Structures are given as C-alpha cells and as structure tokens.
C-alpha cells in the first residue's frame, strides 16, 4: 500500500503511511491506541475508503472493488469482538465464510434445484475439513453461544480460512486469551501460513505474540508510520520506544 490518507472531519486518521507485505510473510501492525491501526486495517478490508493512496494485492487494485468484492479478491479478516452468529452452529458459522463463492441464485435456491444441494454438500465438506485441521471437529453441531473464548477465536479463524485467502487479516486475536492459548494460537497461525502460503497482516497489542510470530513490523503513531523492519530492529528503534514500548 502507498501513501494512504484518511480524514474524519477535521481529524487526520491516516497521514500517508506506505509499506509492503511480501508473499507468505506475517506482518505485524502495532502502535499506541489512536495510532490509526484499525483505520488502516479497515481500509485494506474494504470497510473504509481512503481519501488518497493505493492498496494492491498482487495485480488487483483493492480500492477499485466494492466492499462485497474484496473477499473474492483473496482478503479474509477476523474481528476483535468476534463476528460470529451466536445462535448458529459452529459448522454453519464456518460455512458462512464461503458465501462469496455461491454460484446458485435465489431462484435456484427457492426451487431446490440439484445444483444448490451439490454446492451445499461441497461447502459442508470443506468446512468440516477446516474444522478438523483446527482441532474443532467435535464442535461442529454446537451453537457458538456459550463456547469458550479460545474456541470461538479458532472458529472465527476457520471461517476466514474458508475464503482461501491470499491475505489473512487478524484483528487482535490474542485479546482475552490466557498465556497458553496465545502461544498455541501463534504457533497455529505460523503453521497455517507455511501450509497454505498466505500472507498475514496482524494488529496486536500482545508483544509476546507479535515478537514470536511476525517476520516484519510496521509501527504507526498518530496516523504516521514511524518504523518499518524486522522485529528486533523495530524493538530497538528510539521513536518506537518513546511512542509505544516505553522501557519494555
């Protein structure tokens, strides 16, 4: 992405940050509260439209797409406050991640045509395979409501994987998890990246997870990029220490 700028009224949310994520790389986007991380995240996923700049995924111009087309381009995301449907089963929540691939129209669904049934069976098989890979096969018939937070985080990750992403965007996945769950989730993300080959953009405040999983860090402060490079280099950057890390 290049020179992304966005204002909300008189407030400058993003003031021209530029950076690249290499294929198969895990990039951490960090910074203090109000730095512009979530705003930038929402620009990449199509929820916000920047005032200026460009966002490319390979040869695809993301800003030329409608928000509902971004998933089809290969961008999947999770949400800080979980975007699951609590009254639906785990399996149905995961299948919802493939909605962008549906080829049968409303009329075909209403008529109960064989093509609809075949498509549903295909997506259910894919969803079960994803759940099995994430150690969730025993939960497919459970309603999402009432399940432990760590399990729900994996369910949301499974739903994102149904998109077969080229770029997986994770919004504070460690939030609310205990130490062991954070370590397990970090290891899982790295394993999935190796197996499936997608890139990752991670917004996270848990510095233990950031430093253990990320290949590359970008630091924002007040909408401006103040550092960009390998984790250990960024950690020692004086501007980053002053703005975000303090004495840690």
- Please indicate, yes or no, if residue 153 is contained in any of the structural domains: no
Range of the domain at 184: 2-74+165-245
- Please indicate, yes or no, if residue 238 is contained in any of the structural domains: yes
Q: What is the pLDDT of residues 109-139, one digit of tens each?
A: 444 556 667 778 899 999 999 999 999 999 9
Q: Which whole-number Å values give the CA distances from 33 to 39, 113, 120, 131, 205, in the listed order?
A: 11, 51, 42, 34, 9
- Please indicate, yes or no, if residue 94 is contained in any of the structural domains: no
Instruction: Give the global pTM.
Output: 0.89
**Alpha-carbon dihedral angle through residues 53, 97, 140, 125, given to the nearest 10 degrees:** -130
Answer with the residue of higher pLDDT: 158 or 104.
Answer: 158
Across 21-178, where does the E strand assignment appear?
Answer: 26-30, 52-54, 56-57, 60-61, 75-77, 167-171
In the chain, the number of structural domains is 1
- Please indicate, yes or no, if residue 120 is contained in any of the structural domains: no
Q: What is the pLDDT of residues 215-238, one digit of tens each?
A: 999 999 999 999 999 999 999 999
- Please indicate, yes or no, if residue 102 is contained in any of the structural domains: no
Quickly state the pLDDT bin for 108 (edges 50, 70, 90).
very low
Per DSSP, what are the bridge partners of residue 224?
221
Closest C-alpha among 206, 202, 205 to residue 214: 202
Answer with the residue of higher pLDDT: 176 or 81.
Answer: 176
- Please indicate, yes or no, if residue 90 is contained in any of the structural domains: no
Mean pLDDT, rounded, for 143-164:
94
Per DSSP, what are the bridge partners of residue 77?
169
Residues with Cβ within 8 Å of residue 50, at least 6 apart in sequence: 4, 5, 6, 14, 43, 63
Give the per-residue pLDDT at 105: 46
- Please indicate, yes or no, if residue 91 is contained in any of the structural domains: no
DSSP letter at 117 equals: H
Quickly state the pLDDT bin for 106 (edges 50, 70, 90).
very low
- Please indicate, yes or no, if residue 205 is contained in any of the structural domains: yes
CATH number, domain with residue 172: 3.40.50.300
């Amino acid at each position: 992405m290049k020179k992304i700028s966005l204002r909300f009224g008189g407030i400058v949310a993003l003031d021209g940050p530029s950076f690249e994520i290499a294929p198969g790389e895990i990039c951490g986007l960090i910074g203090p509260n109000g730095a512009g991380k979530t705003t930038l995240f929402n620009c990449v996923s199509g929820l916000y439209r920047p005032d200026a700049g460009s966002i490319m995924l390979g040869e695809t111009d993301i800003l030329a797409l409608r928000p509902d087309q971004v998933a089809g381009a290969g961008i999947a995301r999770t949400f800080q406050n979980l975007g699951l449907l609590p009254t639906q089963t785990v399996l149905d929540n995961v299948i919802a991640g493939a909605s962008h691939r549906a080829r049968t129209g409303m009329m075909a669904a209403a008529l109960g045509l064989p093509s609809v049934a075949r498509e549903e069976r295909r997506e259910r098989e894919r969803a079960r395979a994803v759940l099995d890979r994430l150690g969730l096969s025993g939960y497919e018939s459970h309603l999402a409501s009432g399940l432990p937070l760590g399990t729900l985080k994996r369910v949301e990750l499974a739903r994102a994987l149904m998109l077969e992403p080229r770029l997986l965007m994770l919004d504070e996945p460690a939030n609310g998890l205990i130490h062991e769950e954070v370590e397990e989730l970090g290891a899982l993300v790295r394993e999935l990246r190796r197996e499936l080959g997608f890139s990752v953009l991670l917004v996270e405040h848990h510095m233990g997870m950031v430093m253990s999983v990320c290949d590359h860090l970008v630091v924002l402060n007040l909408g401006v990029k103040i550092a960009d490079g390998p984790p250990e280099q960024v950690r020692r950057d004086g501007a980053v220490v002053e703005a975000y890390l303090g004495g840690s």
